[in-house]
Amino acid sequence: MDFALTPELEALRERVRSFIAEQVIPLENDARQDSHGPHKALRDELVSRARAAGLLTPHASREMGGMGLSHIEKAVVFEEAGYSWLGPTAMNIHAPDEGNIHLMEEVATHAQKERWLRPQVEGQTRSCFCMTEPSPGAGADPSMLKTQAVRDGDDYVINGLKWLITGAEGSSYAIIMASMEDGTATMFLSDMDRDGIEIVRNLDAMDRCFSGGHGVVRFTNVRIPATDVLGEIGKGFRYAQIRLAPARLTHCMRWLGQARRAHEIALDYVRRREAFGKPLVEHEGVGFQIADNDMDLMTARLHIWHTAWLLDQGQRGAFESSRAKVVCSEAEWRVVDRCVQIMGGMGVTNETAVMRIFTDMRAFRVYDGPSEVHRWSMAKKIAAGKA
């Protein structure tokens, strides 16, 4: 592997870094946001700024209007975008839209792309991915899927309840995972204003960086034409892996930017703050934590780049994606947790961005598969010699 960046990629990294510093971070305390994320007006302004800077939806294909970035290129760009919690929203690379865009490019028909994907790539719309369900439905175990799709003439009729559906409020369309009568799973596309789709409520969650929050969505006799099936009937779980393996990695990329920012804030603080006759950073207990932060940041970055390189070589990298998700989510979380600790009172207030990063990031070890599930899946493959 060659970790050297091309001059073009270095230039793109600097463009994104400057855009985030000059155009995005000044809006972080804008009033047009709440516990369920940026409001539409704030998102629209952020997207407009990214569009003007030529940085909107860079991961989408050139055919759809993006930059067609490779996974390695995304690793560089997404880290820089993630330096602000509003950066991924501005550049239209936040979850779940980023993963949905990737899936739609891979699986959707031309007509489906023109109807749903192109407006999304242009930043005009958002989407949600409806798979997770409350108990006893699907969560970390997708085979427990309870939402049902039944064929009725030229349509499919869907009934079920989903929750933790990120971005549901305000989404234009949804990708819905439903179980078929034979027990297989299928993905369906639907406008969110279709009869029978109800956003019951938004859950109060630790994080508040996702537009639309995390919703509870009920499907009651939702009639979807067969032409709006995404891909082939019965291949929903296969398509989920097409989406999830890269999406886990892009989470790691974005949160690495947040962890790096927390570390830089904490480092600046412990250089200036004195206790017991010298700057905090000169105390061994603090200095060791700064060193540990540096090692965890590099560990996360190397895992991201290695897994991105595998994906660029045409390997799906499901095992490596799981490994990167665990390693990066836990390493990046340790960085931010240490930053809170060494900053003391300043770390537990909103006087700096560290507290906000802390509360937003904690959920990263849970969504897209908790660490324990990934470890369990990896262990099975290792024991079977399939790693």
CATH code at position 228: 2.40.110.10
Decide which of 210, 233, 256 is a domain's last residue. Answer: 233
Distance CA 265, CA 267 (A): 5
**What value does the mean pLDDT take over residues 49-57?**
98
What is the CATH classification number for the domain harbouring 63? 1.10.540.10
Give me 157's structure tokens: 């009729």
Q: Which range of residues forms the domain containing residue 186?
A: 127-233
For a pLDDT cut of 90, what percent of the chain falls above it? 94
Mean per-residue pLDDT for 279-302? 97
Average of pLDDT values for 78-103? 97
Q: Based on the fold, state whether residues 379 and 247 are members of the same structural domain.
A: yes
Asked if 247 and 376 sit in the same domain, the reply is yes
Residue 80 to residue 19: CA distance in whole angstroms: 9
Same domain flag for 248 and 375: yes
DSSP one-letter code for 352: S
For the chain, percent of residues with pLDDT exceeding 70: 99
- Is the same domain home to 85 and 151? no
CA–CA gap between residue 318 and residue 341 (Å, rounded): 34
Give the H or E element holding residue 307: helix 284-312
Helix count and strand count (H, E) for the chain: 12, 12
pLDDT at 244: 87
Last-in-domain residue among 172, 199, 233: 233
Average pLDDT over residues 54-79: 97
Backbone angles phi, psi at 62, to 5 degrees: -65, -35
pLDDT tens readout for residues 158-181: 999 999 999 999 999 999 999 999
Three-state DSSP state, 373? helix
Q: Is the pLDDT of residue 316 over 80?
A: no
> What sign results for the dihedral spanned by CA atoms 100, 102, 105, 109?
negative
Domain count, the chain: 3
Those residues with Cβ within 8 angstroms of residue 8's Cβ, 6 or more apart along the chain or in another chain: none
Domain containing residue 242: CATH number: 1.20.140.10
pLDDT at 82: 98
Q: Are residues 292 and 318 in the same domain?
A: yes
**pTM for the complete prediction?**
0.95
Do both 241 and 378 map to the same domain? yes
Q: What is the rounded average pLDDT for all residues in the chain?
A: 96
pLDDT tens-place string over residues 215-265? 999 999 999 999 999 999 999 999 998 898 899 999 999 999 999 999 999
Cβ neighbours for 106, distance < 8 A, ≥ 6 positions apart: 239, 242
pLDDT value, residue 3: 76
Residue 50 lies in a domain: yes
Of 182, 213, 233, the last residue of a domain is 233
Give the pLDDT mean for 76-96.
98
Torsion of CA 190, 192, 195, 200, to 10 degrees: 130
pLDDT at 386 over 70: yes
